[in-house]
Structure 1
Amino acid sequence: MNLKELCEEVITMREFQIPYPGDDPVANNRKKWMNSEFTPRKLREISDDDIVSLLGHRKPGTAYSSVHPPLDEMKEAADPIKELVVPTDGAKAGDRIRYIQFADSMHFAPLPPWMRFRMYGARLRGFDSLAYSGRTLLEMRERDLDETAKFLVETEIFDASRVAMRSVTVHGFSLRLDEDGLMFDARRRYVFNKETGEVEYVKTQRATPLDRRISVGKPLPEDELKTLTTRYHTALTSPRDADELIKVVKRVGELRVLGGLRPDLVDGR
């Protein structure tokens, strides 16, 4: 097999799963999210126009802006890598780069920021991401972002009360929940509708007021959130019980130190 055939096989392979140590509920949930063949449950239906409104980058129905001509119209130097990698629709069209940012609660959100970051790597193409302490930035070509945002918000990756779209003033994700189980938001982008039991956004992720409220559905029950969480917690699965994970983390830490200070001692470990 030559290099081109090998690259094509890697690019087109259907299953991509990152191994993870352990066999407890949290470890198994983490394995699930890192498996690109796993399909998250769809919990809600949000229209394309509502997704565009929540993102706040352009008005629904308007054309995509571009930063360069479509790839088919550009004359570029020969590059074998470009022949191997199939561009996304947004890249083909020359779309500008736009973003979505999620804040994930400490209180049993489906994914902590670092796990969301890894999940992006296992599932998405043509993106850039960065995980902070409580939020995860995702940048993509605009039409690719619209499609991806719809997937991220409509499925169980997103819980209406424990996950929020916030691109500015993210602070408050780790504070206690309010009486309705919602995370504190200094910009008050969303409210709980007591009549419908649904969470409704009144502002975009950038905290710009919306013309109308957009519902993102009902929050999941606390008991169900606890079965979905990928965070170790003393009230559920204690990190002290994750023997295999602790063993791997200790080994990684040890080899990292030895590799930097005494690489001669790494051999055979």
Structure 2
Amino acid sequence: MSFSDARFDVNLSILFTELPLLERPAAAAAAGFDAVELWWPWPDNPTPDQAELDGLRSALDAAGTRLVGLNFYAGQLPGPDRGALSLPGTESERFRANIDVATDFAASVGCTALNALYGNRVEGTDPAVQDALALENLALAARAADRIGAILLIEALNAPESPLYPLVSAPAAVEVVDRVNAATGLDNARFLLDLYHLSMNGEDLPAVVDAYADRTGHVQIADNPGRGAPGTGTLPLADLLSQLRKAGYAGWTGLEYKPSAAGSAASFTWLS
């Protein structure tokens, strides 16, 4: 496997989680990384106190790590939730309350990619109602991202692990990307291409890369089966990343995989 020329960042919401949040950037730096990404770090709180935001900013600065990707509030993640923006009532209100908080924090640390998870279908609620709410909230998020020169990411998950999530294919996610761009006229919504999720859906990964590389704003990887590090499964990840680079993708690739049994720090031997 050769991963030459790829730019990797570590997802600190799945790796180094054995450590407190504020110790993870330094651990990533000690493992050789200068870029990291995060799911929303406070899953119970879309609007944390300024002291908590300042603490995370200081930890990133002290470690010399740049935050290159951040999720908006998405409910309990990891856990049963897969986003909040399409859920009528309290959860979508919490998402809206989080938009400026997350965007301002991203601006303060130079992060220019914000991921908005769509949210599960709600039993007894018309999907069309959820989709209309989602578009409204995604447009708000896209405008906030544009205010700081950032892109808004839309992600497809996988049906086996997220059976209530409606965006379980690359075309479904890209369709939402197109709707958001049409609604705002900003053209700053992009596809988050997660090779693990798409492989779990049985998609033709080279065909997805060919079709959507030009609309991809961020890439995430894990091997399949197992969602482990590259080389623990059967996905041709090096070939797919090479194909993405040849297609013009020059952005970051997030390492969003489960750590090895030996721990997070031992989960990067494949890079050598």
Larger radius of gyration: 1
- The alignment's TM-score, normalised by the length of structure 2, stands at 0.25
- The alignment's TM-score, normalised by the length of structure 1, stands at 0.25
- Choose between structure 1 and 2: higher helix proportion: 2
Instruction: Tell me: higher relative CO, structure 1 or 2? Use CA pairs within 8 A at least 6 residues apart.
Output: 1
